[in-house]
Amino acid sequence: MTAFPEGFLWGAGTAANQIEGAWDADGKGPTVPDMCTAGSNTEPRLITPTFEEGKTYPNHEAIDHYHRYAEDIALLGEMGLKAYRFSVAWSRIYPTGMEEEPNEAGLAFYDHVVDACLEHGIEPVITLSHYDMPYALVERYNGWYGREVIGLFERYCHTLFERFAARVRWWMTFNEINTSVSSMGCVFGVSTVRGYRGNVSRAPDEPSVRFQALHHQFVASARVVAYAHERYPELRIGCMSSFVPMYPLTTDPKDVLLAQSKMRMSSFFCSDVQVRGEYPGYALAHFRRNGIEVRMEPGDLEELRRGAVDYYSMSYYMTVCLTTHVGEGAAVGGNFSFGNRNEYLETSDWGWQIDPDGLRYAINAVNDRYGVPIVIAENGLGAADTVEEDGSIHDDYRIAYLERHLEAVAGAIDDGSNVIGFFPWGAIDMVSTSTGEMKKRYGFIYVDKHDDGTGTLARSRKDSFFWYRDVIARNGLA
């Protein structure tokens, strides 16, 4: 077994909108997820064009981390975590995104979170934007479709750097930037929920709109990275993409080509821009062939070049198979979550194909392409856990999943890839992004909270908690 490098970032992750709750506490403005009655890929899309007062949305309470962060981070410390990835809710800092001055109460909350991490010997890793924009910006600018949002995002990030740079070295700009607007269409419905329009009537859901919104995120990310490099050279700022390897379903070279072209646009495109600092030729070809027009201002391309990130990070959950042969069990392309069945793989209870070797393949592909340090920012198994009478939770399936994926990471390191951290998703049970459920649990720590709204919110350690504690303690698998 390959030894994990010295100083390896044994982490775990969360996102503000999935754990904090307290959606309107201490001056926080509503964010896009606050407006969702259920997960983002539930059809019909459940975003409400006008806010319905008094209605319960999963994000409004979530697991109430806002009031329980001290207990939660103490548990992470007990697990021996070296790094904790969490996101800041933009609207706690700038409630509408448009204020001149930040909301001190919001900054104070993250002061506490950061300090709690440091007290427990945990390195904080901040995601600047994790599917979480002030809803007012959707109303006013159609979210990221409006170029004005770039400057507002910069102001928010500058505020965070000023406050936290001395205590937080590791940052990521946009979570899974490629899922918010990708060639695969509105995966997860995120184009509605996460970004540029809160109301179908205001901006047509067409590729030009989606790629325009994405371009603005690229420019925003690059500006923020360049700014940090200039003022805070000790910071490390990465991009974050969802990596879904695409395999050809058959050995027909046409399937191989299909898988290559789909994987370029879905998994590589955004990181090509963010790591290499330029639009790749295949993306420009994709725009040309599909009549996609992206308006760029003079200087944008130069800014992308100047704002290349320091490291690459990915979330990794599954692989999919694509084929040009339309037949039983096969479809051209295949959607994000499922594609076509791979007969060698099992699926999770939510239909995600489990493929540890795919992670090794993904890491090696990224390593060869970019040559920058790689962080696995998310990887985990969504499963419904059972609490035994004595309160224990035997999630051996989660341990098995993570163990096999960690073996794959070790394999990739052994293959020569430069992986510097592994952040299982998630640190603690939380509201699922895609389904809005509590039932789809990922955490090492169980939270007594259920989809019907019941539960004491009490925390308890699952078997995986002790397993991961041991992995960290010995810097690798047994």
- Give the interface with ligand BGP as residue ranges (CB under 6 A): 15, 18, 175-176, 242, 315, 378, 382, 425, 432-434, 440
CA distance 65 to 25: 12
In 111-244, beta strands by DSSP E: 123-129, 170-174, 236-242
Handedness of CA 161, 163, 168, 173 (dihedral sign): negative
Are 306 and 233 within 8 A, CB to CB?
Answer: no
* Nearer to ligand BGP among residue 97 and residue 189 (C-beta): 189
- The 3-class secondary structure across 94-105, one letter per residue, is CCCCCCCCCCHH
Amino acid at 463: D
CA distance 433 to 176: 12
Q: How far is the CB of 338 from ligand BGP (least distance, A)?
A: 13
Whether 278 is catalytic: no
Amino acid at 174: F
**In 232-355, which ranges are continuous DSSP H helix?**
253-263, 269-276, 281-289, 300-306
Q: How far is the CB of 398 from ligand BGP (least distance, A)?
A: 13
Look at strands 353-354 and 346-347 and give their pairing.
antiparallel
Q: How far is the CB of 404 from ligand BGP (least distance, A)?
A: 18
* Nearer to ligand BGP among residue 39 and residue 277 (C-beta): 39
In 16-161, beta strands by DSSP E: 83-87, 123-129
* Nearer to ligand BGP among residue 17 and residue 324 (C-beta): 17
How far, CA to CA in Å, does 70 sit from each of 54, 116, 121, 211, 273? 28, 7, 14, 40, 38
Look at strands 459-461 and 445-447 and give their pairing.
antiparallel
* Nearer to ligand BGP among residue 366 and residue 438 (C-beta): 438
* Nearer to ligand BGP among residue 235 and residue 383 (C-beta): 383
Which 3 state secondary structure label does DSSP give 260?
A: helix
| Closest CB to ligand BGP: residue number | 434
Catalytically annotated residue among 176, 303, 407, 437: 176
* Nearer to ligand BGP among residue 255 and residue 437 (C-beta): 437
Could you tell me which residues come within 8 angstroms of residue 376 by beta carbon, excluding any fewer than 6 positions away?
A: 313, 314, 316, 359, 363, 409, 419, 421, 422, 423
* Nearer to ligand BGP among residue 103 and residue 179 (C-beta): 179
Whether 176 is catalytic: yes
Are 372 and 429 within 8 A, CB to CB?
Answer: no
Could you tell me which residues come within 8 angstroms of residue 101 by beta carbon, excluding any fewer than 6 positions away?
A: none
Are 310 and 238 within 8 A, CB to CB?
Answer: yes
Could you tell me which residues come within 8 angstroms of residue 327 by beta carbon, excluding any fewer than 6 positions away?
A: none
Structure tokens given for 261: 């072209």
Structure tokens given for 152: 């507002």
Q: How far is the CB of 377 from ligand BGP (least distance, A)?
A: 8
Cis, bond preceding 426 (omega within 30 deg of 0): yes
Q: How far is the CB of 437 from ligand BGP (least distance, A)?
A: 8
* Nearer to ligand BGP among residue 159 and residue 242 (C-beta): 242
* Nearer to ligand BGP among residue 183 and residue 323 (C-beta): 183
CA distance 421 to 412: 12
User: Which positions are annotated as active-site residues?
Assistant: 176, 378
